[in-house]
Structure 1
Amino acid sequence: MRGHDRINTFIPDELILEMFRRLDSKPSRDACSLVCKRWLALERLSRTTLRICATGSPNLVVDLLAGRFRNVRTVHIDERLNISLPCQPPGRRRGTDIAGVSSVKLHCASEKNGSPDPGSDSCSLSDAGLTAIGEGFPKLEKLSLIWCSNVSSLGLISLAGKCRLLKSLDLQGCYVGDQGLAAVGQSCKQLEDLNLRFCEGLTDVCLVELAHGVGKSLKSLGIAACAKITDTAMEAVGSHCKSLKNLSLDAEFIHNKGVVAVAQGCPALKSMKLQCINVTDEALSAVGTSCPSLEVLALYSFQRFTDKGLSAIGNGCKKLKNLILSDCYFLGVNALESIATGCKELTHLEVNGCHNIGTMGLESIGKSCPRLTELALLYCQRIGNFALSEVGRGCQFLQALHLVDCSSIGDEAICSIAKGCRNLKKLHIRRCYEIGNTGIVAVGENCRSLTDLSLRFCDRVGDEALIAVAQCSSLQYLNVSGCHQIGDAGLIAIARGCPQLSYLDVSVLQNLGDMAMAEVGEGCPNLKDIVLSHCRQITDVGINHLVKHCTILASCHMVYCPGITSSGVATVVSSCPNIKKVLVEKCKVSSRTKRRAASVISYLCMDL
């Protein structure tokens, strides 16, 4: 009835707040917040997360937001974030630009009411901003400060004293000192998650005090490139952090002593990621003996680690599900046999650059680990066809396979995977020159659930393979860059058989022409990203047909395509309302296109 506000009269605040909590899309929350001042205020009360760009004037932004959103529990500030929203004029209402979903990127000018704020830093967040966060968000539970180089111990001390409910703190790249982190240990007794990656100013002192203060609650710890943190700090963690479940450690000054202390003192460890060049089999033997609950183990660049250490892991960590071995040069041909024998629950395995691991070890995985769902073999020259044949026979639940520079693996192996692993959804192959049409045809005929296929620089793959893959109607991602034998016939089959395709990379295909582009436009209306670079046969005609139907296209890369002119570039910009990035030579962008869409145009070579 005209003149009567029945909604605001009868609906209580609690019900409206619950409605806001159930809205997941930004447009919906924005629209509801504009109903009236009451709904705008309630939407602000329902906000739990803020994401702020730490450029411009972040201190001022924090001040403004603290007065509006009192129930925020998560704040993420990242100096690397791009400015995503323009500033509103001083006289314009600002409520609508921050009334979106619970996570939003914000930027505000360094002026307030037309005059600069003398207390704010124009480059990045400072200690004053940290103080404002502490005072403005007393319910804060999670704080992420990424590469905020101007904050120091003073700001962290102030924040710690006010945000005693803090559970998660990410200080990646911040130059805070020992005093600030010690204050966190003294005040934030509920702290569970701490990331200290690239905090170069920290020493053992802060971690020792922190372990004393929050040892009972700490569950996750990440350290990288902290040269002054040694075994002493790790011994303190092992002594006091009995509930620690996740450890990520990248430190060249950590030795066996530190890792052994953590392994023996933290039996609840479930995830351990180590890049410690001075750690040997002794430390890994302690992990295998003392961490029976370990589920994730990642070992990077181990220079003194052999089959003995991996054998201890296989014998002791029976619950291991995810194993990554990267650049561990001293592992032998049969290194994986102990893992296969002892870790029956293994689901993810990545072997990267371990040049001495051979066929026999992976055969054991295929025979003994039936739950394997993801396998990545990168730069494994000694692993041959028979290993993947065993995986195909024994791992019927395999869903993802990644192969890079595996010169001994060919069509025979891929055929075995295709016939035995019919649930395969993701297949990524790069520079495996023995794999050709035969293997990929088998994938198309047997793996009908395939959604993600990448065949980069596989010279023996041609149209026959793509015609078979076109039977996988659920395909959404396709990358065939550098597969020179693929032409119009293969891509036309994909266009007609895979209507859900959203990403397509056909760069460096010299035989691909406008007919294929027309068919993709007709058959793939969900296409969002396309890469056409170095395709010499595609012209403005093909681009016109493509964008006529692919109306939700968001990015288009088309550098070094001599048949595409400034007219084709203008067509893409004018026909695709959702376009966010067009990568092209500078000489192909007309003045009119530049005026119209300068923000979405990117240039690979500025002087062309």
Structure 2
Amino acid sequence: MPFRPKNPSLDINSSPSPTKRRTTTTWSDLWVKSPKSLNQVFFAMPLPSHSNSQTLGSNVSTVDRTLLLSDETLLRILSKLPGSQRLSISLVCKRWLNLQGRLVRSIKVLDWAFIESGRLIERFPNLTHVDLSRSCVISSRNSGILLHHGDLSLHLSTEFSPICRILEENLLSVDVIDRGVRLIAGGCPNLSKLVVVGASEVGLISVAKECLTLQELELHRCSDDTLRGIAGCRNLQILKLVGCVEGFHWELVSDIGLTILAQGCKRLVRLELSGCAGSFDGVKAIGQCCQMLEELTLCDHRMDGGWLAGLSYCENLKTLRLQSCRSIDSNPGPDEHMGSCPALESLHLQKCHSRDKMGMRAVFLVCRAVKDVVIQDCWGLEDDIFSWVILCRRVRFLSLEGCSLLTTQGLEPVLLSWQELQSLQVTSCKSIKDSEISPDLATRFSSLKDLKWRPNTKSLLASSLAGSGMGRKGGRFFRRV
């Protein structure tokens, strides 16, 4: 006769009380909250035929009752535990250590020897996300000097070379990195994300062949030859390429690499190019071949003049980000050749040099269909340069942060010309003064659905006091009784 718990809330076959809400019970709840009931379940389970052997012992109290559960059942139970408790369960026994390893899906490798020894695949056979960026660089663990740039960081010894050769001298050899990448590719067939530094075409070809479900790839120190290896990643959707990084490495991606990439990875949805070169031809190839591309990010680009016109071929592009660019476009060309991105919804300019009037004008001309504009910490953004944003007539959301040269006189005509504007955020723009707000601009503010107005500390104080009644004589706080 099968065992049934005495508590009706644990019996899935019993009908719930009309006055109490029925709740579902998981194995993890039984284990943590009701150990007595779980013990009764284990005692009720029939022991295997060798239960009297030396393996289990004659004393039932010393028997490991989890041996009665299959690996699949125990994995389902352990998977219900919070992530913070999964590491501690590996200390119970060797079996639980192996089971816990099968639950791990994402890992950041810090020691390259862990890969070459084969212990990584043996310990974690079901990995889907692998980050090798830190293990590719030889780092002095005992050093207190940490060099950090973006996603890369390494500890330096007290005697180090000039900064321009730090990564080159501390990076593992290409053969070693490719050998480790091949081990990862062969042992993780379900790999969906990979981050690696300094891999070559040989190592990446093995990834393209073995990991057919790879969807996200991040490559540091890559060149045109490197991109030949990922042309076979047919299901790749998210790609980040890091070419030249001053102080770390000087590899470059040109139009040749961008064309190879475009022809091989046609299902790209998000593409980030950091420290990459190129021109109109490379951007055009990406737009024509990667028709599913929705998000494009260019960080510290080395593009030749005229590259902005290639964005018009990205017909389904929805988000464009320009970050830390010293120059937008040195020679954008005539307006009739610029075109536009008809599906563009969001434009982000972050930490860019914006003194180039023609380049900034070309950006707003190509992005004239945009609805959201975010400008953050762009150096040199003066009133006459910001005035070109008026070309974007369908803007509904505008966010300005850290634009210290922009004044109220430069902001007002733009806001008054946008009839579809619904939300405005102005923060840390010290040249914008509350005292310079005209009646027309105040009326425009009142029609907005969302307004965040904190251009300086005084406005922050006034905003915090608004609606409180403070600042008036008597007011709501001092009333006569």
Query: Please, which of 219, 223, 240 is the counterpart of residue 219 of structure 2?
Result: 223
| Structure-2 change in CA distance of 1:208 and 1:162 (3 Å) | same
CA distance in 1, matches of 2:387, 2:128: 49
CA distance in 2, matches of 1:178, 1:17: 52
- Are 2:185 and 1:180 aligned? no
* Partner residue in 2 for 1:37: 35
* Partner residue in 2 for 1:500: none
Please report how far the alpha carbon of residue 386 of structure 1 lies from its aligned counterpart in structure 2 after TM superposition.
3.5
What is the aligned residue count? Answer: 376
| Structure-2 change in CA distance of 1:349 and 1:170 (3 Å) | same
Secondary structure of 1:319 counterpart: coil
TM-score by length of 2: 0.63
Is the 1:294–1:320 contact (alpha carbons within 8 Å) kept by the matching residues of 2? yes
- Are 2:75 and 1:70 aligned? yes
* Partner residue in 1 for 2:402: 404
* Partner residue in 1 for 2:227: 234
CA distance in 1, matches of 2:86, 2:123: 24
Please report how far the alpha carbon of residue 285 of structure 1 lies from its aligned counterpart in structure 2 after TM superposition.
3.5
Give the partner amino acid of 1:323: L
| Structure-2 change in CA distance of 1:290 and 1:73 (3 Å) | farther
* Partner residue in 1 for 2:252: 254
After superposition, the C-alpha distances for 1:208-249 in whole angstroms (9 at most, x for unaligned) are 3222322x322211122x4xx5433310111x1122221101
Please list, as runs of the form range in 1=range in 2, the aligned pairs for 1:439-478 lying within 5 A after superposition. Answer: 441=442, 444-450=445-451, 453=452, 455-456=454-455, 458=456
Listed as ranges, the gaps of 5+ residues in structure 1 are: 22-28, 42-65, 75-97, 118-127, 459-482, 497-514, 517-521, 524-608
Task: Indicate the larger mover: 261-270 or 400-409.
Answer: 400-409
Secondary structure of 1:341 counterpart: coil
Please list, as runs of the form range in 1=range in 2, the aligned pairs for 1:223-302 lying within 5 A after superposition. Answer: 223-224=219-220, 226=221, 229-238=222-231, 240-252=232-244, 253-256=251-254, 257-302=256-301
Please report how far the alpha carbon of residue 160 of structure 1 lies from its aligned counterpart in structure 2 after TM superposition.
2.9
- Are 2:338 and 1:346 aligned? no
CA distance in 2, matches of 1:402, 1:40: 59
* Partner residue in 1 for 2:119: 158
Please report how far the alpha carbon of residue 106 of structure 1 lies from its aligned counterpart in structure 2 after TM superposition.
8.2
Give the partner amino acid of 1:70: L
* Partner residue in 2 for 1:427: 425
| Structure-2 change in CA distance of 1:10 and 1:386 (3 Å) | closer
Please report how far the alpha carbon of residue 387 of structure 1 lies from its aligned counterpart in structure 2 after TM superposition.
3.0
CA distance in 1, matches of 2:225, 2:347: 32
Secondary structure of 1:185 counterpart: helix
* Partner residue in 1 for 2:206: 209
Q: Which one has a bigger Cα radius of gyration? A: 2
Is the 1:70–1:137 contact (alpha carbons within 8 Å) kept by the matching residues of 2? no
Secondary structure of 2:110 counterpart: coil
| Structure-2 change in CA distance of 1:255 and 1:492 (3 Å) | closer
Please report how far the alpha carbon of residue 165 of structure 1 lies from its aligned counterpart in structure 2 after TM superposition.
4.4
* Partner residue in 1 for 2:55: none
TM-score by length of 1: 0.51
| Structure-2 change in CA distance of 1:422 and 1:303 (3 Å) | closer
Please list, as runs of the form range in 1=range in 2, the aligned pairs for 1:280-429 lying within 5 A after superposition. Answer: 280-307=279-306, 309-314=307-312, 316-326=313-323, 327-329=325-327, 331-332=329-330, 341-351=339-349, 352-358=352-358, 360-361=361-362, 364=365, 368-369=368-369, 372-376=371-375, 378-381=378-381, 384=385, 386-391=387-392, 394-396=393-395, 398-405=396-403, 407-411=405-409, 413-414=411-412, 416-417=414-415, 420-424=419-423, 427-429=425-427
Give the partner amino acid of 1:188: C
Query: Please, which of 106, 131, 134 is the counterpart of residue 143 of structure 1?
Result: 106
Is the 1:207–1:236 contact (alpha carbons within 8 Å) kept by the matching residues of 2? yes
Please report how far the alpha carbon of residue 164 of structure 1 lies from its aligned counterpart in structure 2 after TM superposition.
5.2
CA distance in 1, matches of 2:38, 2:387: 64
* Partner residue in 1 for 2:465: 492
| Structure-2 change in CA distance of 1:68 and 1:433 (3 Å) | farther
Please report how far the alpha carbon of residue 441 of structure 1 lies from its aligned counterpart in structure 2 after TM superposition.
4.1
Please report how far the alpha carbon of residue 294 of structure 1 lies from its aligned counterpart in structure 2 after TM superposition.
1.7
* Partner residue in 2 for 1:191: 191
Is the 1:336–1:362 contact (alpha carbons within 8 Å) kept by the matching residues of 2? no
After superposition, the C-alpha distances for 1:159-182 in whole angstroms (9 at most, x for unaligned) are 335755433323342348433321
CA distance in 2, matches of 1:346, 1:313: 10
| Structure-2 change in CA distance of 1:288 and 1:365 (3 Å) | closer
| Structure-2 change in CA distance of 1:353 and 1:323 (3 Å) | same
| Structure-2 change in CA distance of 1:332 and 1:150 (3 Å) | closer
> Quick one: higher RCO (CA 8 Å, sep 6+), 1 or 2?
2
